[in-house]
Structure formats: structure tokens, C-alpha cells
Structure 1
Amino acid sequence: MWLGRTIEDLLKHIKADTEIIIVLDGAWANPPIPQHERVNIVYLPQSIGQRAATNFACRLSKAKYIMKVDAHCAFDTGFDRKMIDAFKETGDTVTMVPTMRNLHVFDWVCSDGHRRYQGPTGPCKECGKETLRDVVWIPKKRPESNSYCFDSEPHFQYFNEYTKRPGYGGDLTETMSLQGSCFMMTREKYWELNICDESFGSWGSQGIEIACKFWLSGGRVLVNHATWYAHLFRTQGGDFSFPYPQKEKNVQAAKQKAKDLFFNNKWDKAVHPLSWLVKKFWPIPGWSEEDLQKLKKGMLHS
């Protein structure tokens, strides 16, 4: 629904020689996407899933660096140039994300002027009248997210406590894990590490997959505070949630794959065990000392 606005925002704010590749996975865009020399669109009549579609787009790219973003995001002016410049400082054995903000896309407004923040459809909660969507498209300055982790299950977690530790600061900071709506790396690393392993399924555990593959192979996972993107969170349920069917068993299967591959140290490109990563960021919410000792012995999710 917000793909067109996301593309418009990208075109307005890119400053490098950036190509935008869109994969329409099983459905045409509504509204249609206007033609633009910087935008290449691929339509797949049969849905293949998010990981496979991301791989499809990456095969079409000839760029040194690739960035995957969700189809409901806004961006800082020159974010692409700022990210590329940061890689010149860090080298190419990292994956990097901008600071993440929240994207205020729309309000529901009734004929009496009552406004309700974006969420599921429904009548005005003040007067009961019909509401219409008023698009505002505002990247909110607060909150900002710069640190993420996963617990021992593993579940994704925000890790704000880490940002308060001694020594934390600067334009480039380390993060244990990622949220998953945006990430950037070299195209070479993307394929070398099999970043979107389709055996995980279409969706789920992507932030954990990417972060573990970089950290455990000897790379790093960084947040670039010199730039940002804003992401629309659809978490209120109803018709304001995932735009496609999401089977819980598939999400759990992706989690089980992450457990087996990383917690049981079965990933063949790893030079560190997962316990090394946990100790690096210790203490971590959702991890006990007992969990860590079991992890070291290969008994946490065996």
C-alpha cells in the first residue's frame, strides 16, 4: 500500500548513483508505480516469499553495495552517500544499518475533525462517525533505535541498556542483532554468507540470521548514527498488521532453524561460537548465567 510513497521518498533523498529494484511478489502495486530511470520493477505472478524475492533482486543488481529496505519506509537526505562513506571507514566485512526512527504515515479523520493516530480502520472513537485516511508521512525524531539483541529463545529485543554502557558512543556503534527492516552490505558478502537463506522460509528470524552470520564469521554489525531511516510499524492487529498471510508455524520454523544453525554451532562458516557473541555483549536481557553455561556446552537448544 505504501510502496509508491516509499519509492518517491527514496528518489527524493538518494544522492549517490543508486538504483532502486522493486520486486512485486505475487501482486501488482496499487496504486501503480510511475516509471523512472532509477527504478527497475520486476513482477512475479506467483509469490515466492520475502527471502527469495530479496535474493531475486540482488541477482539483478550490479552494485558493490546493496541495501534491503521494507516497502513502508522514509529516509534521510543523502542516506545512501552517508552509508557508503561509512564503509570506507569500516571496511567491507561489516553489515550496517542507519539509526531507525518510527514513520507516522497517516491519521484517521472524521468530518468533525477528530484525529486518530494510524491503526486499524474503524469509526471515530470520539463521535462514531466514518473516518477517512489522511496521509501525513512524517518521520518522527523520537524514539530512535540504535541497539538490538535476541534473548535465549531466541526472540528479537531492543537493547537500549547497551547504549548507556561506558565507552558507547560515536557515529558508528556495534549492535548484537538487527531489527530486519533495513540492512546494507557488499553484494559479495551477501552471497558469500548466504544472507537470505531460503531454508529459513519466507519471513522470520532475519535480523538474527544476518547478525549471527556477520559476527560469527569474523565480521561486525554496526549502526550508523550519522544517518537514519524511518519504518512504519504495523503491530495493532486487524487490518493494520502484516499485508500477507503469516502462519505461526512458519515463523516458529524459522526460529527453530536459527536455534539449530547458530545455538548448536552448526553453521559451517563460523569462526566463533554463539557463546562468544553472547559474552561480548553480556549482560543481555533474556539471558541468564545458566543459559550461557548451557549454550557453551551445546545444551541450550539441543
Structure 2
Amino acid sequence: MSGRLHRRLRCCLLGVLTVLAMQLLIVVLVVRFGLIDELISHRLLLQQQQLSLHQLEWREFITHTPDQPHALYQYNRQLSDNLAAVRLLPTTRHHSCNRRRYRLPQASRAKLSVVICFHNEARSMLLRTILTLISRTPEEYLHELIVIDDGSEDAGLLASLERHMTAANVQRGRPTLIFRRNLSRKGLIWSRNEGARLASGHYLLFLDSHCEVNDGWLEPLLERLALNSRLAVSPVLDPIEPETLSYMAGNELLKGGFDWSLHFHWLPRVLAEKEALAQPYASPAFAGGILVISRESFHKLHGFNPHLEIWGGESIELAIKLWLCGGQIEIVPCSRIGHIFRPAHAFEFPLQFGQEQKQKQEKELELEQELERVQLDSAQATYLRNSKIIAESWLDEYKYLFYALKPSARQIPLNLRTVSQPSYDPAQIKAELNCRPFDWLMRHVSPELRLQHANLSALGTLRNADRCLHVAGTEPQLQLQLASCHGLQVTQWHLHQESGQLSTSEQRLCVAVDAAAKQPQLSLEPCRAGQGGQQWLRRNTQLQHAGTHLCLDNPLKDQLLLSHCRPHAVSQSFQFALEIQAQS
């Protein structure tokens, strides 16, 4: 073989090795810097272009959105209409998630049924939720999509959506599409239970109708569910700003929780030693109504409590039930779904507490308490009624803490036997599933509940006879007054053990007295540590100001002042809804 041929062979070999080395370098860079998500995004973009074959039809679907005021949707509907149905989203999960290979169950044993219920959702937003789900979910796992319209004002929406979805789904053949419309408003809770009843997949995903599913959302969740069939998992929710629709990164250092008023709150997640940021972690509750759970487990827990009405508290009730009855909740940071957290309710609530009947009797009712109960805000009334059902069902002896913070709930008649829903008996569920007492959840799952009031000596409403101490007005014209104790908005108070401050429950305002004044007057001030004028002493049922040694007094109806302390004076007897520390 000639030297020239040897040189040519060496050159060819060198060229091949150079190409291989460059390909290897590209792979290393892709893995090292998380660029694989970009490649996945481009692949998904091709899939999304297939969905765009019906773009003109989708545009026509969107343009039939009724012209409604902004308050109906609580987000920028015009901007939503002009955005692409499926847009490229930023990668918000930790880069380590992109390098992982997930151990997934066989698709034949992990079919996913997705339940989306909506009421008065903008067509473009609902469509974006559905199309991002279909385009970013592995086809072999997405078994069926169940869409339930809960009596929306846009009566033609669902039929039009079904027609377009069926046409777009002809070539794909999956997922199976199921559409239902409630002729009258039945609420999110009823509709989700109905969706679960219709489902046939191994797993249920409850998804809100104003979401955007991000790339690779399902695989991390399926891996966790395959390890523990009694687990319920939630993605990290990436917030979508309502006005700009900007997609932002959610915080994997937060977990879901709730307080004694049974309101949801985000709580700080404390990383254990050597715990990775992207590692799945336990959470007392979940938010946004987005959860994946095995269909068998959901039905074994008897689903969402059917006695809860419309919306409110159902996710907290299910979370408590999960933990107490053998299940667990995890948030999985490698899974991301965008969610619009609307600033207010975008729907009407029904009248509560027999309001319709009471309104007919208003002329005959002269008691102010009854009239105020009639006039309660319907959204708050519905949520309060639902919360009372949860407290009575699951909190055991700790329900007194709920009533201390929500005394108006005591007046709410439940009438559960008259509710036209399937039988749902928490006592029977507890016996059937051998559920733990609520104290177990406080000790092992949500110690924050036990610590919430550890530094308080008393809390709740502050009552004198039939009136309660209340902060009225709006800033900067706030004032102390005595008001009916039966209103939903009556001020809740905290009496702090160490400082002696008497503060509102948000610990923003404190009751103060200027001890140097010739005639000391009550006032409201921002709470400040070490402020002597804000210190109060508890003397039996009296509240004595530490600086002036005068007592809070109500000598005449609705009159609030300071006067010399008199033993056993009824006008100076102020009782908290809950006394934690023994009175002196």
C-alpha cells in the first residue's frame, strides 16, 4: 500500500474521530447545561404544529367568546385570546430533573384520566389548558379527557369545543373524549366527583381550567405513584400572572398547609441534611385543585365530601382524610404546571343559611343578629359552612379552636340529611379505613398547627355581653367599636403572653393607650416590640392596661373607654372565645 493511500486513510480516520468527538462534546454540553429541555421543546413544537392544522377552526372557536366584563374572568381575557393556544414555556424545574431517567410503570397499567371542570371560563384559556395537556403528555399514558361545564353562561361553549376536539382527535385516536354539561349550577365539588365516577383510568388528574402544562410534567409524578399506590402527588405550581399572563417559576421551598380557620396557607419547607432541592417532599395539603391520585384510592376515600357546596375547603378535607386514613401527599418539584391564581372568585355562590326564607321574614324580624345573618356575603357563607362540616367531621376535640376563630359558624344549620347527595358518613369512613385521630396529624404531619398559638394566652373574638370588640372603617380612618358578634367579619384578637399586646389576628394593629396623657384614650397603632403603651394584663375577665392600671370598660351600649378597675363589674368583663393560659 502506497504512502499516499496511508495518508488518505489516516485523514479519513482523523475526520471520523473529529466528527465523533464533536458529537460527544455536544451531548456533554446538552446534559451539562440542561439544554436537553430546549431539544425536547423543539420536538414538542413539531407536535404542536400538528395541532395547529385546525388553527383556523380554533380561532373561530375563540372568537365566539361572549363579551363579558373583566371581573367575570379575573384575568386578561383579551390577551389570552391573542396568545398562541400552545406557547413555548420557560424551563422552571431544577436542571437535575432534566438528566434523570424516570422509572415509569407500563402504560397499560398507568392509564391517566384527566378531569377538568369549569364555570364561566374564557374559551381561549380553557383551550390552552386542554391543548398544553394533550401536547405535553406522553400519548400512551393519556387515556381519557373528561370535561364538565358546570352551567356556564356561555351555553354553546361545550358543544363547540366537543365538535372541534373530536375533529382534531380523529387521526390521533386518543385520548377518549367525554363531555358533560350541567344544566344548572352544581359546583366544582359535585362536578369533580361526577368526573371521577365517569373515569376508567388507573389514575385521576384533577386539573383546573386556567392552567398551562409544562414539558415533562407527568413522568416524575408517575414514578412516585408507581412506588406507593396510596400516595397522592401534586406538581409545583408555577404562577401565571393574571394581567400579563407571564409564566413564572414556582417555589419548591414551600409546602401546603392550613390554619385553624381551615384556610389554605403556604408554609416554609425546611430541607433536611443532604436533602436535594428537587427531591419530592411531604406536604400537609395541596393547592390549586391540582392532584394526581389512583382512582381506586380516591373512591376508597369516598371522593370529595358531597355535602360541601360549590367550592371551598374540599382540598383541605381530602388532604386531612388522606393523611388520617393511610395515605400521603407529596409535592414533586420536577413536575411543573402553570396556574392562574385569580385575585377573587370568578363566580357566584348560592345564598346560605336559609337566606331566601329569612329574607321573606325580614319585616317580622327585629333582632339585629338575625338580620345580619341574612346579609352575610354568600361566598364567605358557603366557605364557612363547608369549613364547619370539615371541623365537625375530622378535627375531633380540636374543633373548639375552629369555633374560637369562627364563632359565627356555630349559628350555621347544616341539615346534612336533606342534601340530595350520596350517603357520606365520616364516622363510617373512619371505622372502615381505620383512620387515625386528628391529633396524629398534628404530631406527625403538621406540627405548625400546634405551634400556631404557642405564644398566646387568649384568642378569638373579644365579647362584652352581646357585643364584640371590632375594628371598623378603612385605613387611615380605623376605629375601635363594639359590634354584633355574629358577623363573619368581626375582628379576631390575640393576647400575647410575653409582650402583653392585644393585637388583631394578623398582628398588624395593637390596642394602645398613651399613659402620659391627662385623659388616657384608647387607640389603634401598628404593633411594635417593647412598646409599653401596648401592654395589657389579664385580671380574671378584665383587661387592665399595664401603664395606667385602668381597665377596658363598656359602661353604656357601644361605648368603649378606660376607667378604674372595679371587681365583678359586668361592663368590664371581656371574654375571649378561647382562653389558653389560665386567668390570674
Task: Normalising by structure 1, report the TM-score.
Answer: 0.76
Q: 1:142 to 1:193 in 2, by over 3 A?
A: closer
Contact 1:195–1:213 (Cα < 8 Å) also in 2: no
How far apart in 1 are the matches of 2:156 and 2:450?
A: 40
Q: Pick one of 391, 394, 407 that aligns with 1:262.
A: 394
1:167 Cα deviation from its structure 2 partner:
6.7
1:163 Cα deviation from its structure 2 partner:
3.1
Contact 2:217–2:336 (Cα < 8 Å) also in 1: yes
Q: 1:166 to 1:145 in 2, by over 3 A?
A: closer
Between the two proteins, what is the percent identity of the paired residues? 18
Give the equivalent residue in structure 2 for 1:154: 262
Give the equivalent residue in structure 2 for 1:11: 134
How far apart in 1 are the matches of 2:224 and 2:304?
A: 23
1:221 maps to a residue whose letter is I
How far apart in 1 are the matches of 2:327 and 2:348?
A: 34
2:394 maps to a residue whose letter is F
Q: Does 1:22 align with 2:186?
A: no
Q: Pick one of 240, 246, 256 that aligns with 1:103.
A: 240
List alignment gaps of at least 5 residues for structure 2.
1-121, 170-174, 350-377, 398-425, 457-577, 579-584
Give the equivalent residue in structure 2 for 1:118: none
1:23 maps to a residue whose letter is I
- The 5 Å alignment of 1:129-148 reads 137-144=245-252, 146-148=254-256
Q: Does 1:163 align with 2:270?
A: yes
Q: Pick one of 313, 319, 322 that aligns with 1:211.
A: 319
Q: Number of matched residues?
A: 257
Q: Pick one of 447, 455, 460 that aligns with 1:282.
A: 447
How far apart in 2 are the matches of 1:105 and 1:155?
A: 22
1:195 Cα deviation from its structure 2 partner:
2.4
Contact 1:49–1:202 (Cα < 8 Å) also in 2: yes
1:64 Cα deviation from its structure 2 partner:
0.5
Contact 2:204–2:293 (Cα < 8 Å) also in 1: yes
How far apart in 2 are the matches of 1:176 and 1:184?
A: 15
How far apart in 1 are the matches of 2:147 and 2:390?
A: 27
**Which is strand-richer, 1 or 2?**
1
How far apart in 1 are the matches of 2:127 and 2:149?
A: 12
Q: Does 1:52 align with 2:190?
A: yes
- The 5 Å alignment of 1:31-50 reads 32-33=160-161, 34-36=164-166, 37=169, 38=175, 39-50=177-188
Q: Does 1:186 align with 2:294?
A: yes
1:147 Cα deviation from its structure 2 partner:
0.4
Q: Does 1:251 align with 2:376?
A: no
1:288 Cα deviation from its structure 2 partner:
2.3
Contact 1:102–1:143 (Cα < 8 Å) also in 2: no
Q: 1:201 to 1:145 in 2, by over 3 A?
A: farther
Q: 1:228 to 1:146 in 2, by over 3 A?
A: farther
Q: Does 1:272 align with 2:436?
A: yes
1:255 Cα deviation from its structure 2 partner:
0.7
Structure number with the bigger relative contact order (C-alpha 8 A, sep ≥ 6) is: 1
Q: Decide which moves more: 56-65 or 38-47.
A: 38-47
1:73 Cα deviation from its structure 2 partner:
0.6
State the Cα deviation string for residues 267-302 of structure 1 (Å, max 9, x = none).
Answer: 4425211111112232348722499xxxxxxxx9xx
1:29 Cα deviation from its structure 2 partner:
6.3
Question: In structure 2, the residue corresponding to 1:215 is in which secondary structure?
Answer: helix
Structure index of larger Rg: 2
Q: Decide which moves more: 38-47 or 197-206.
A: 38-47
Q: 1:142 to 1:183 in 2, by over 3 A?
A: closer
1:184 maps to a residue whose letter is V
Task: Normalising by structure 2, report the TM-score.
Answer: 0.41
1:283 maps to a residue whose letter is E
How far apart in 1 are the matches of 2:301 and 2:308?
A: 14
1:192 maps to a residue whose letter is K
**Which is helix-richer, 1 or 2?**
2
Contact 2:288–2:339 (Cα < 8 Å) also in 1: no
Question: In structure 1, the residue corresponding to 2:442 is in which secondary structure?
Answer: helix
Contact 1:151–1:286 (Cα < 8 Å) also in 2: no
Q: Does 1:72 align with 2:236?
A: no
1:223 Cα deviation from its structure 2 partner:
0.8
How far apart in 1 are the matches of 2:146 and 2:247?
A: 23
2:135 maps to a residue whose letter is K
Q: 1:211 to 1:4 in 2, by over 3 A?
A: same
1:140 Cα deviation from its structure 2 partner:
1.2
Give the equivalent residue in structure 1 for 2:225: 87
Q: 1:272 to 1:180 in 2, by over 3 A?
A: farther
Question: In structure 1, the residue corresponding to 2:335 is in which secondary structure?
Answer: strand
Q: 1:286 to 1:101 in 2, by over 3 A?
A: farther
Q: 1:82 to 1:26 in 2, by over 3 A?
A: same
How far apart in 1 are the matches of 2:194 and 2:338?
A: 25
Question: In structure 2, the residue corresponding to 1:257 is in which secondary structure?
Answer: helix
How far apart in 2 are the matches of 1:290 and 1:177?
A: 24
Give the equivalent residue in structure 1 for 2:342: 234
How far apart in 2 are the matches of 1:4 and 1:164?
A: 38
How far apart in 1 are the matches of 2:130 and 2:332?
A: 22
Q: 1:192 to 1:290 in 2, by over 3 A?
A: farther
Question: In structure 2, the residue corresponding to 1:88 is in which secondary structure?
Answer: helix
Question: In structure 1, the residue corresponding to 2:248 is in which secondary structure?
Answer: strand
1:76 Cα deviation from its structure 2 partner:
2.0
Q: Decide which moves more: 247-256 or 33-42.
A: 33-42
Contact 2:214–2:336 (Cα < 8 Å) also in 1: yes
List alignment gaps of at least 5 residues for structure 1.
108-136, 236-240, 292-299
How far apart in 1 are the matches of 2:381 and 2:241?
A: 31
Question: In structure 2, the residue corresponding to 1:74 is in which secondary structure?
Answer: strand
